[in-house]
Amino acid sequence: MTDQLRPHVKPQEPWRQRLVRTLLYGRDVDRTAKARARIGLAIIAFAAVYAVIGGRLVMFAAGSDGPSARRSAQQDAIATARPDIVDRNGAVLATDVKTPSLFAEPRRLIDKDEAIELLTATLPDLDTNEVRERMMSRKGFVWLKREMTPKQQQDIHRLGLPGVGFLRENKRVYPTGNEVAHLIGLVNIDNQGIAGMEKWLDNQGLADLHRAGFATDRLQKPVELSVDLRVEHALRDELLKAKEKFKTKAASGLVVNVRTGEIIAMVSLPDFDPNNPKEAHDPDRINRLTTGVYEMGSTFKAFTLAMALDTGKYDLNSLWDARGPLHYGKFAIHDDEPKGRFLNMKEVFYFSSNVGAARIALTQGVEGHKAFLRKMGQFDRLRTELPESASPILPKRWAELNTVTIAFGHGMAVAPLQGVMGVSALVNGGLLIPPTFMKRTEAEAMAIAKRVIKPETSEKMRYLMRLNAEVGTARKADVKGYYIGGKTGTAEKVINGRYAKKKVLTLFTAVIPADKPKYQLLIMLDEPQPLKETYGFITSGWNAVPTAGNVISRIGPLLGIEPRFDLPPSDRQILAASRLTQ
């Protein structure tokens, strides 16, 4: 048989190869198809690996300055955006601006020592040890310098350091500087309010919005305050002049709308620039109008007389024995300018008689006196939008002697704003209205007002205040055309537990105009010095009163008070108009 006719016989496969093939591929498997599948699987695996590597490279590239990679760190810059604060006319008092801040990512730094050397050389104000400590940490993000200048940012850019970059943050700026410092307050490096209206904003929910990430730049409406920047400037300017002229330790002033409780201006000197927060730490730069408490001197006599008149048992012609000092135990109460005779209610007020005021208070008794002052809001800590406030200092045991001295403003200390609130109630018709730094209408004020004295008592108090400007201690503040009224006060300061006659706090509270008051002005000078032109006197009539006159002449037109000339005396303009016969 030839080879062509012999059947083809497949060579026998060795048993070892047959075993390996069976274990690897199984029986009856197409090895070509299996190879193609394995090649495809390898291609997919390599593609996936290269995709992951490429993605990581893209993330690193975008992460150096991109806003999404460091969301937790950048969230602080976004969340601490704050609304503008404006005065009642829309003038900006506080706003945000964008500033660059320098950060580092220690894990990405190639040569940390070189980076530290270059950065501290470029920014000499950086502390080398502090920078090194932060750079050597295992954190993914650290701040190096907050709130840089554009030039500093440019200098750092030129270094070309990997792992070092910038975030744009919100920085709070105060265009008016010192003008409204105590009112506005200030923020910390993270743009969080720490004093004044800035802190109040955070307490009203702004801090919660920050944490939730909703308080972004342009989603917030400006906050409108009651303050008028024009009036604030005029008041501060005159207080600066008075502080220099009378060489005082401090000078303060308030302007408030007696019909709404709105605070139109508030100045306490020395003040600070909120753009330079370090100044605010000076303990002498406190807000003396809300955080300080003082014996208010003879301005408290207004409360004493109103208390007696409101009972209906006494009128403006009631007589009080002021022939000599009032002796109480081992103490003797004197008048600065004794008249040696009986004084009627009007004379007690415009002669500012300590003896007369003490006798008036004694007729009401200790409990009656306490009840009236409590009703006038002088017993409790005054709460306003400003977080900074102080509680009154009251006698631990209130006896008759306390009533005698408190009747003329000694022995009890209150925050000046608290005293202003009470005096406003004496002249606005008898309504106690809580003061506010926010805009408020008269209707809104009436909704929260509390009647504390009768309308006719308020009419008599307006008359007494105007009479004091005509013939009493307030004559030097009687600016023609504005028909002011007011009450002076001079309180001896307590030094080492004793009253010091040559160290006094002088006050003057004025109402404008006296017949239909709309505004009240308080001037307070701490330790004014005697001058040749004051004939050596340091009482209120020689310093606080003329300062108030200067302020009124400047703020009257700003407040829209139209001058009225040739008005009749107070007995005809006020008393006759109200048909009071006393």
Bridging pattern class, strands 223-224 and 85-86: parallel
List the one residue out of 507, 491, 552, 307 whose CA is nearest residue 417: 507
| CA gap 564, 482 in Å, rounded | 6
Query: For residue 571, what pLDDT is reported?
Result: 87
Query: For residue 340, what pLDDT is reported?
Result: 94
Residues of the chain whose pLDDT is less than 70? Answer: 1-13, 16-38, 40, 55-80, 205-220, 577-582
List the one residue out of 141, 148, 106 whose CA is nearest residue 126: 148
Query: For residue 67, what pLDDT is reported?
Result: 43
Q: What is the DSSP letter of 244?
A: H
Collapsed DSSP state (helix, strand, coil) of residue 478: coil
Query: For residue 121, what pLDDT is reported?
Result: 87
pTM of the model: 0.79
DSSP for 269-320? ES---TTSGGGGG-GGG--TTTT--EE-GGGGHHHHHHHHHHTTS--TT-EE
Query: For residue 477, what pLDDT is reported?
Result: 92
Tokens 């007389």 correspond to 305
Backbone angles phi, psi at 137, to 5 degrees: -75, 165
Extended beta strands in 316-434, E state: 319-322, 326-328, 331-333, 341-344, 413-414, 431-432
Helices 416-427 and 301-310 meet at what angle, rounded to 10?
40
Burial of 98 (0-12, 13-18, 19+ CB in 10 A): exposed
Q: How far is CA 474 from CA 258, 440, 488, in A?
A: 20, 31, 7
Out of 226, 298, 353, 458, which one is annotated catalytic? Answer: 298
Beta carbons within 10 angstroms of residue 138's beta carbon? 6
Q: How far is CA 418 from CA 115, 181, 545, in A?
A: 57, 20, 20
Helix ranges (DSSP H) in 376-454:
400-406, 416-427, 442-448
Please indicate whether residue 252 is annotated as part of the active site.
no
Q: Which helix (H) or strand (E) holds 82?
A: none
Query: For residue 26, what pLDDT is reported?
Result: 60
Query: For residue 69, what pLDDT is reported?
Result: 42
Q: Which helix (H) or strand (E) holds 155?
A: helix 150-159
Query: For residue 581, what pLDDT is reported?
Result: 42
| 377 torsion bin: left (phi>0), alpha (psi -120 to 50), beta (else) | left
Token duo for residue 286: 């406190």
* Contact (CB, 8 A) for 213 and 75: yes
Collapsed DSSP state (helix, strand, coil) of residue 405: helix
Q: What is the DSSP letter of 379?
A: S
